[in-house]
Structure 1
Amino acid sequence: MSKVCEITGKKANNGYNISHSHVKTKKIQNVNLQSKKIWSYSRDCWIKVKVSTKGLKSLHRIL
């Protein structure tokens, strides 16, 4: 299962945890993915989609 949004194409980002002594350790900032079911009028069935919350907002505007 890949951690990529199917609508916007967003994926994980690299970053650093910085401690009080300013020691940097690498971390991964994952996308806030939600699995949703969307009704397809052309196929006349439900489709499961993994969408980021930003992609979900754009879907709400369209639908």
Structure 2
Amino acid sequence: MSRVCQLTGTRANNGMAVSHSHIRTKKLQQANLQQRKLWWAEGNKWINIKVTTRALKTIQKKGLGPYAKSLGINLNKI
């Protein structure tokens, strides 16, 4: 599977590593993805999902169902 958040769609960012002598080389800044088993109250089941830590923080605040609904994600298909 690719390194993409299944809720927000966050993926790697292209960046530059800058050395002390200011030599710039390309690098990828990967998203902080975690594999989690989350309880979905509306569907009354557990969901295995790969999400970023930023999305996990928002899930703790809003809840999994309302957050997925605001993003337009159907949790039945995950």
TM-score normalised to the size of structure 2?
0.72
Higher percent of residues as helix? 2
Q: Partners of 1:58 and 1:21 in 2: how far apart?
A: 40
Shift of 1:55: 0.4
Helix, strand or coil at the partner of 1:57: helix
Q: Structure 1 regions of 5+ residues with no counterpart?
A: none
Name the structure 2 match of 1:31.
Answer: 31
One-letter amino acid matched to 2:20: H
Q: Structure 2 regions of 5+ residues with no counterpart?
A: 64-78
Helix, strand or coil at the partner of 1:5: coil
* Number of equivalenced pairs: 62
The percent identity for this pair of structures is: 48
Q: Partners of 2:39 and 2:53 in 1: how far apart?
A: 18
Shift of 1:45: 2.7
Higher percent of residues as strand? 1
TM-score normalised to the size of structure 1?
0.87
Cα RMSD for the two superposed structures = 1.1
Shift of 1:38: 1.2
Q: Partners of 2:20 and 2:40 in 1: how far apart?
A: 51
Q: Partners of 2:55 and 2:7 in 1: how far apart?
A: 6
